[in-house]
Amino acid sequence: MPPAKVPDTPVEHIVDLLEKAKKLAEGNGSIPEELKSYLQKALDIASGLDDYLERMTTQESEPLAELYKKTVSHDWEQAHKEGKTIFKLPKECVTGHVEGQTLKMLVHMSQAKRVLEIGMFTGYGALSMAEGLPEDGCLVACELEPYLKEFAQPIFDKSPHGKKIIVKIGSAMDTLKELAAAGEQFDMVFIDADKNNYINYYNYILDNNLLRLQGVICVDNTLFKGKVYLKDTTDENGLALRQFNQFVSDDPRVEQVIVPLRDGLSIIRRVPVASACSSSRSVTDDEVFRGVGGHLILDRMHLGGKVAYVTGAGQGIGRAFAHALGEAGAKVAVVDMDQVKAAAVVTELSLKGILAFPIAADVSKPEDVQRMIDSIVSKWGVIHIACNNAGINMNSNSEDTSLEEWDQTFNVNLRGTFMCCQAAGRVMLKQGYGKIINTASMASLIVPHPQKQLSYNTSKAGVVKLTQTLGTEWIDRGVRVNCISPGIVDTPLIHSESLRPLVQRWLSDIPAGRLAQVTDLQAAVVYLASDASDYMTGHNLVIEGGQSLW
């Protein structure tokens, strides 16, 4: 007969006590049936909770429990069956799915790239967190016992995420000192080690800035079978964790919530600015210290609540701009002559949870431009960010450039940009706020060669002067106007057979040694669209790998 299961978590203790109470009630004829019914209902609720959470929690892309079962050698399991003390296949390898997925989700939510784990044990938690890290992410696991690394390493080796894990054997505090001396910092820290040292680990991490600003510390077992809040507890670990929880609650450097998951999980966030002003006379309490309006620099780059549109957004640079603005938090109207392409980009954005809708418009037509603006205002009420990106390019020798080519190029590149600026500007001037970002070109600064593109070069130079003029005229009414001048951008067309000789010539003219990718331009459009660029107007932001300098 297998041994009775020992309760481990508060819920398991409640279930155990309710089962005992139910047996006593069933053996006592004087207990009212109504009370027995209440006991059964309470038992059903408590006993069903863990199973329900297990079923409802998203399954791992890699079933870690199965990986552990398959990897643990026969010798380990046989030793356990024979009652030897070599090692015990831990319960968490089978029942840790919810905890593992919780840690993985916290890694995702904190956008962590570097994680520190104090107390690796079997490596189950480490591998769960590693799964949430990006490919270039890293998890440093501190473990006292060498045999636990011997146990976990073969499992890490079989997982595609195991390469992200570095195990350091020895005293956790010694490892923390080593990491601090090396200037290491982490986005997230997970502590599941000796309970009496929780406070020491926690303080050392914060005092030595091992946790980055706004980073997260997760601490396991902080309810410890309910003993942290039972008044009559004498359990050493329970008392240590009670002291730890209270210490964190009183610490002005952080904010904390204790989640009653299994045996308790504390989620502790390092706040942007603690009460350092009152504790240190050397602190200058100004916007540099606290952030403009209380917002630190990355927060000021966020576009949450903003409404943007991007023309020429069905492909190339415009598509990249639409994704960048949406990822930064803006709602995005995707504008393109081709309704199908615009709709396809909207689908991409929607899959990321970005609010977007398509608009078919030809920016060379004033009625289309006005309809575009009216559609956005009708749907979302405002326009904060106008990204005028649509453009065309036709090549010809200057003596052969036709008026038709000239007019067609200018109608889109300069006239269309002007009409979009004017129509969006009217809305923004009434609002008293707006960011207009035009796409110019490196061709506004130099004459790219050997291709002949008189109308394109001249139209893009006009976009720069248009930007400078509007930028100085409208800034005192809250509207900033800037432009981005990309170099030669790598597109499918660039790789056509006819352009291959030109590409080699262009590469020889670029100090960076490569063509621009559309992703090289995304941070610039987010910066110009954000509050962080409020003092910039009429500026031509050149991103061309140094080509215009040679």
CATH of the domain at 197: 3.40.50.150
What residues contact residue 509 under an 8 Å CB cut-off, 6+ apart? Answer: 547, 550
Bond into 450 cis (ω within 30): yes
- Judge if 385 and 448 occupy the same domain: yes
Q: What is the CATH number of the domain that holds 459?
A: 3.40.50.720
Per-residue pLDDT tens digits for 54-96: 788 876 655 555 666 555 544 444 544 554 444 444 444 444 6
- Is residue 456 part of the annotated active site? The answer reads yes
C-beta of residue 412 within 8 angstroms of C-beta of residue 369: no
Average pLDDT of the chain is 89
Q: What angle do CA 61, 193, 219 make, to 5 degrees?
A: 65
What range defines the domain where residue 21 resides? 10-56
- Judge if 348 and 266 occupy the same domain: no
- Judge if 453 and 521 occupy the same domain: yes
Q: Is residue 211 part of a domain?
A: yes
- Judge if 81 and 195 occupy the same domain: yes
User: How many C-beta neighbours within 10 Å does residue 124 have?
Assistant: 24
The structural domain count of the chain equals 3
Nearest to 509 by CA among 476, 480, 531, 487: 487
Q: Is residue 374 part of a domain?
A: yes
Burial class (CB in 10 A: 0-12, 13-18, 19+), 371: middle
Nearest to 51 by CA among 5, 93, 95, 18: 95
pLDDT band, very low/low/confident/very high, at 243 (cuts 50, 70, 90): very high
- Judge if 449 and 518 occupy the same domain: yes
C-beta of residue 440 within 8 angstroms of C-beta of residue 483: yes
- Judge if 388 and 484 occupy the same domain: yes
Q: Is residue 283 part of a domain?
A: no
Share of the chain above pLDDT 70, in %: 90
Q: Is residue 296 part of a domain?
A: no
Q: In what order do the strands lie in the sheet with 114-118?
A: 165-169, 138-143, 114-118, 186-191, 211-220, 265-270, 254-259
Quote the pTM value: 0.83
- Judge if 92 and 224 occupy the same domain: yes
Per-residue pLDDT tens digits for 522-542: 999 999 999 999 999 999 999
- Judge if 487 and 512 occupy the same domain: yes
Catalytic residue, candidates 52, 456, 527, 535: 456
- Judge if 47 and 182 occupy the same domain: no
Token match 């130099």: residue?
A: 446
Task: Name the β-bridge partners of 485.
Answer: 542
